[in-house]
Structure 1
């Protein structure tokens, strides 16, 4: 079996693995005015980050949805995230309304350290949210903030996975890196934490975190791609650790905000050489189990 060399080859590749499709836990659909601001940020990436970041899927929303479906992506969230107080509640309303009219979109939510965070997140869970997004770099907040203690406790109690950008790449934040989020896990060891981007560039630290905490997962978003290998290469000696943590790695892509075709993410996972069983777990089965656990919580 060969890895997919373009997007048209992705559905056949998934079928060859014996999968009905893929579950991608790191996808962004945003209100148009927010998405366009995100795209403007990436337009300036060469000045900000020292690397050009062209958006491959800079398309209207219907075309992006159609393309995900044509790839064979069965389920995906519309991950939203605030950068200041007062945003999270209306972003949650947007994301939940979007999921309500988009059957393959997982209901999702977000939060910010503010006095009403537990209240609006409780409401989002009541409305069916099964995935939550936390972006420590963009939000610029400390995950140990006392205003968030009730949020982490709530999410742990409901077994809802939190896709958390807590790594230092591609741009370090005041509270990124393994230290702050580890302190959160020490207080809430039942938290289903999904570390975005495999925690790049501190891959070893975050893989160790997954070995220490049974409910820590890592998503593959942008890892191993030619783009990322130029700036945050994954150490080859850690590939066997990925194999040992086969039940804790989940597919993430960052669609649509990626500077290469979607197929490339799957191809580089295939080329790790960890085998079809590992790929089936990562591309579908682990996320399916994690989401089923949340739905039962």
Structure 2
């Protein structure tokens, strides 16, 4: 991949803003950032600190800050809109996580109101309640939740979200470690049943990049987010295939910037420079880092 020019201080907020300004962006739209109740976040951080079985390697949290400071940092980076990705791992969690997320979105207007669900009785009612409260994006984590997206308890969820046209960011790839229902097979079966779903495949479907590109090429509402893909950290374990770059270019209108902030083991700006060094040009970067997300969520012009 060709090397890109790097402005001074790329790891600082000023460096991130300078990068965006250099390619003509009014800011960034990041569809994959994490905000969640502090007791849940503490458990997530403790898992990363222990190099848990899904990671198997040191994973220092770069932005281990209090909630207000994390919001402030994203604003300093010039992020216009971001999400509060949160997810349950057992029944009974989704409702109170959604209540928390609604409160967070109410006090942080640049957060896209995020919600979640779990395969349990009443899941579809919970999704309808969240939509009624203003949810604009949902998160599904097949790996952590350990569930089949085709579980009959979720049929009403997917039908409701398909009809609403509401995006769902779904972690369904087998990275960093495979789960019982990860990989392209279960999601492919889901899309065959609900072909109009607006799925956003988290982490570009890492490591099954090409299989998830196939799904995006087959289904016009499927998007992919860049979260951790192409970075040095991920390339060491799951390199993106060089022959996939032309496919990324062809899907320029359906690739979305995601970062995994704050739970990343490197500075925020590294994700941006990793995208630039793909060599797909400034038009592609503008689409991925701002325009596609702004269009998907109907953001007012900056």
TM norm structure 1? 0.96
Q: Say whether residues 1:245 and 2:251 are aligned partners.
A: yes
Greater helix share, 1 or 2? 1
Q: Say whether residues 1:222 and 2:228 are aligned partners.
A: yes
Superposed counterparts of 1:8-47, under 5 Å: 8-45=14-51
Secondary structure of 1:74 counterpart: strand
Match of 1:60 among 63, 66, 77: 66
Match of 2:241 among 235, 238, 242: 235
Q: Say whether residues 1:115 and 2:121 are aligned partners.
A: yes
**Residue 267 of structure 1: aligned partner:** 273
Secondary structure of 2:297 counterpart: helix
Check the 8 A contact 2:225/2:255 in 1, yes or no.
yes
**Runs of 4+ in structure 1 displaced over 2 angstroms?**
1-5, 46-50
**Residue 169 of structure 2: aligned partner:** 163
Superposed counterparts of 1:143-182, under 5 Å: 143-182=149-188
Match of 1:137 among 136, 139, 143: 143
**Residue 11 of structure 2: aligned partner:** 6
* Structure 2 unmatched ranges of 5 or more: none
Check the 8 A contact 1:3/1:271 in 2, yes or no.
no
In structure 2, the CA distance between the partners of 1:32 and 1:154, relative to structure 1 (3 Å rule), is same
In the alignment of these two chains, the number of paired residues is: 294
| Segment of structure 1 superposing worse, 48-57 or 220-229 | 48-57
User: What is the alpha-carbon distance in structure 1 between the residues aligned to residue 264 and residue 65 of structure 2?
Assistant: 12
TM norm structure 2? 0.95
**Residue 91 of structure 2: aligned partner:** 85
Check the 8 A contact 2:224/2:255 in 1, yes or no.
yes
Match of 2:217 among 207, 211, 220: 211
User: What is the alpha-carbon distance in structure 2 between the residues aligned to residue 198 and residue 36 of structure 1?
Assistant: 26
Q: What are the Cα deviations for residues 180-214 of structure 1, in whole angstroms up to 9, with x where unaligned?
A: 01111111111000000000000000011100000
**Residue 193 of structure 2: aligned partner:** 187
Q: Say whether residues 1:72 and 2:78 are aligned partners.
A: yes
Question: RMSD of the alignment, in Å?
Answer: 1.4
Residue 47 of structure 1: CA displacement?
A: 5.6
User: What is the alpha-carbon distance in structure 1 between the residues aligned to residue 259 and residue 215 of structure 2?
Assistant: 22
Residue 292 of structure 1: CA displacement?
A: 2.2
Residue 90 of structure 1: CA displacement?
A: 0.4
Check the 8 A contact 1:3/1:270 in 2, yes or no.
no
In structure 2, the CA distance between the partners of 1:190 and 1:47, relative to structure 1 (3 Å rule), is closer
User: What is the alpha-carbon distance in structure 2 between the residues aligned to residue 118 and residue 30 of structure 1?
Assistant: 22
In structure 2, the CA distance between the partners of 1:48 and 1:281, relative to structure 1 (3 Å rule), is closer
User: What is the alpha-carbon distance in structure 1 between the residues aligned to residue 259 and residue 71 of structure 2?
Assistant: 14
